[in-house]
Copies of this chain bind each other. A is one copy, B any other.
């Protein structure tokens, strides 16, 4: 979406003039301060002002192959221009690095940039070299020994003959990684590993960039030495020739095909047939294989767990951004679109004035803001635990792991739902590719599965919760995020509706954990094994974990709000208060079944909360446009005919339609070939 210079639509002008908050103040807070806001804007201008980064054709008109080629071309230009940016800003750095020297923080920053607004604006179907930075380099860094890092890291960082990816998942094996089949047999005589794909289901399947782009792969394979199994280990394998890019002998590699989204990722398949690599290409920071075939067990790879948590923290952030992009588009559209008079003979109102429309959009804005508060908390929690881990203290890891798992699941699922609901709130126009909901949804819904499938992660959290519940019976001290379970008092409904709602959600979570625990005990008494009992309690366990996440999200929003209100301008604090209330009540009302099951609440009290909720929607209405402006999404980031800052929805819809390649010829060739014969009865 280019910025076409058009006057801002009168309806949006009026909305902005009437707002009681300053979008710029909000944007400053949202970006984490003035400096960061300016920095981000400068980087966006640097790219968006460059016509080389303006797609000549909307990607929805491209074929799968065209999109790949287009994305690789843009991706390499992007890296070059980003290096230039670094040189301009840090001329004395001299490392030639993308953002300075290489450490895990640099890679994290790059990952944030790529999955952030700039990245998704330029690469709506994902960045085609992402896995090199997001997985290949971090794995070398975390799992290579010093010698290996010296040999590979600098080259890989500069992409000197190396484009890498990371291959774990197989065609027949996902979540349960012990089931992976790819094997690496050590040949002590030649000091080599021999990699093989013993069956169709053992083909590596899904790794990004692997189809046509990468030439090296870190492969997770079952290690065998003299026929004895030593578990999964990472191996560095060249799959394409550095000079010709032809697949190396024994390598069967290709792209797995089109998907709902992320079609520039070049997800690949990979099979091995007696592929040999030297011994020093098993990454040996942890376990080692000595030349004679002696296996040396390493320490537990604690930092690896940390990386898994880190990725989940990022995902909560990513899906929140997607949700708020969708909410921004839907809000601006609803402020310009007019339909269905409320009063007969009155002009058609902005659809944002229909209460049912407010109920579709505002809770999603509120949700996104509260997810942001949770992502910030989780990020600080993560950093605290990482410091402890580095000092050898792993005590906090299970709590962090449990919280990140259930938040990843719940935030992803609800963002998916939210984005789709916001699309639908734009009626038919939301169904158009030019509205860009398809790309936003495509990326957000992939996160439902990757890095831990929804239910699998909830069950991981649930195992932790059940253990904690047992501990709570023994009156041990509980971790902070679980502490509410010790409070067994019933809900006392007070005038503080927010506190009532949060406490009610906590009681639901605690009750559900207890019920799951009881069911497991019961099944055990009936003679079931612990595992079968857990399977039979699967529904209770997974919903308990989701309830735990919701209680956390509500409580955390309230707590963070209180902190923020000390520092924010009062009018911003007031609007944030509205949003936190909307989020908490919306969560309460969506969980009403469980809440009424586990709490004694009268109909009149529920009604009171419902009325407050509707009042809040009306109260928030005047600031809706100004608030979404404050997320400061550039038009190119939203990439939507419906969501531009100037509100020129109809001009842009028509403009995009006219760019459609089908409209380049007045008469399509189908007429002579097919339609005319049909109309002459000649078929």
A residues near B, CB below 8 A? 58, 60-66, 68-69, 72-73, 75-77, 79-80, 83, 158-163, 169, 171-176, 179, 200-201, 203, 205-206, 211-213, 242, 244-247, 254-261, 266, 269, 337-344, 348, 353-356, 359-360, 416, 420, 424, 427-428, 430-434, 437-438, 445-446, 448-450, 453-456, 459, 529, 531-532, 535-536, 538-539, 542, 589-598, 603, 606, 614, 650-651, 653-654, 656-658, 660-663, 666-671, 673-681, 683
Residue of B nearest to A594 (CB): B592
Cβ contact within 8 Å between A172 and B597: no
- A173 contacts B260, C-beta separation under 8 Å: no
Report the Cα distance A603→B683, complex, angstroms: 67
Q: How far is the CB of A222 from chain B (nearest CB, A)?
A: 15
Does the CB pair B456–A160 fall under 8 Å?
no
Set of chain B residues within 8 Å of A683, measured between Cβ atoms: 76-77, 79-80, 83
Known: A72-B670, A257-B58. A200 touches B651 (CB 8 A): yes
| Chain B residues whose CB sits within 8 angstroms of the CB of A169 once the complex forms | 428
Chain B hits for A657, CB < 8 A:
254-257, 269
5 smallest CB-CB distances across A and B, nearest first, come from A592-B593, A60-B258, A80-B683, A596-B596, A258-B433
In the complex, what's the smallest C-beta–C-beta distance from A271 to chain B, in angstroms?
9
Chain B residue at smallest Cβ distance from A511: B603
> Could you tell me if B69 and A669 are in contact, using CB atoms closer than 8 angstroms?
yes
Other A-B contacts than A65-B662, A356-B542, A591-B593, 8 sampled, CB-CB below 8 A, are: A68-B670, A72-B675, A175-B340, A258-B660, A259-B431, A261-B431, A355-B536, A424-B449
Instruction: Determine the chain B residues whose CB is within 8 A of the CB of A658 once the complex forms.
Output: 254
Instruction: List the number of copies, as a whole number.
Output: 2
Cα-based distance from A554 to B335 in the complex (angstroms): 38
Q: Which residues of B contact A669 (CB under 8 A)?
A: 69
> What are 28 contact pairs spanning A and B, CB under 8 A?
A68-B668, A72-B668, A72-B675, A73-B670, A76-B674, A76-B677, A161-B680, A162-B679, A163-B679, A172-B338, A201-B650, A245-B676, A246-B667, A256-B657, A257-B433, A257-B660, A260-B438, A342-B535, A343-B532, A353-B535, A356-B455, A424-B445, A427-B449, A431-B446, A591-B593, A592-B597, A593-B595, A593-B596
> In the complex, are the beta carbons of A662 and B259 less than 8 A apart?
no
> What's the nearest-Cβ distance from chain B to residue A27, in Å?
31
Residue A428 contacts which of B69, B174, B430 (CB distance < 8 angstroms)? B174
Distance in Å: Cβ of A299 to nearest Cβ of chain B: 24
Residue in chain B with minimal CB distance to A455: B356
A408 to chain B, nearest CB (A): 14
Which residues from B are CB-within-8-Å of A61?
63-65, 257-258
Find A662's partner among B60, B176, B212 (CB 8 Å cutoff). Answer: B212
A653 to B254, CA, bound (A): 13
Cβ–Cβ contact A73 & B673, under 8 A: yes
Cβ B343 vs Cβ A160 within 8 A = no
Q: How far is the CA of A159 from the CA of B158 in the complex (A)?
A: 63
In the complex, are the beta carbons of B64 and A348 less than 8 A apart? Answer: no
- Contact of B653 with A428 in the complex, beta carbons under 8 Å: no
Residue of B nearest to A261 (CB): B431
Contact of A355 with B535 at beta-carbon distance under 8 Å, contacts A76-B674, A450-B428, A668-B212 already known: yes
Chain B contacts for A680, CB-based, 8 A: 161
On chain B, the residues within 8 Å of A654 by CB distance are 171, 200, 203, 269
A445: which B residues are within 8 A, CB to CB? 420, 424, 431
Summarize A's interface: helix, strand, loop or mixed. helix
Q: In the complex, which of the residues A206, A246, A337, A662 has the most CB atoms of chain B within 10 Å of its own CB atom?
A: A662
Tell me the complex Cα distance, A338–B172, Å: 8
Asked, given contacts A64-B662, A667-B246, A670-B212, whether A433 binds B260 with beta carbons under 8 Å apart, the answer is yes
A657 to B580, CA, bound (A): 46
Cα–Cα, bound, A58→B592 (Å): 45
Q: Which residues of B contact A339 (CB under 8 A)?
A: 173-176, 179
**Are A171 and B60 in contact, with the CB atoms below 8 A?**
no
A163, A430, A668, A669, most chain B CB atoms within 10 A? A668
B663 touches A254 (CB 8 A): yes
Contact residue among B172, B257, B432 (Cβ-Cβ distance under 8 Å from A258): B432
B200, B459, B651: the one within 8 Å of A650 (CB): B200
**Chain B: CB-nearest residue to A588:** B593
Chain B residue at minimal CB-CB distance from A203: B654
* Cα-based distance from A162 to B340 in the complex (angstroms): 35
Which B residues touch A245, using CB under 8 A?
667, 671, 675-676
- The complex places the Cα of A253 from the Cα of B503 at a distance, in Å, of 59
CB pair A176–B69 under 8 Å, yes or no, is no
Residue of B nearest to A176 (CB): B340
B431/A661 in contact, CB under 8 A: no
CB distance A453 to B433 under 8 Å? no
Expressed in whole angstroms, the minimum distance between the Cβ of A474 and any Cβ of chain B is 26
- Pick the residue among B174, B257, B342, B430 that contacts A531 (CB under 8 A): B342
A542 → chain B closest CB, angstroms: 6
CB nearest to A179 among chain B residues: B348
Shortest beta-carbon distance, A681 to chain B, in Å?
7
A675: chain B residues within 8 A (beta carbon): 72, 76, 163, 213, 245
Which B residue's beta carbon lies closest to that of A353? B535
Cα distance A15–B436 in the bound complex, in angstroms:
43
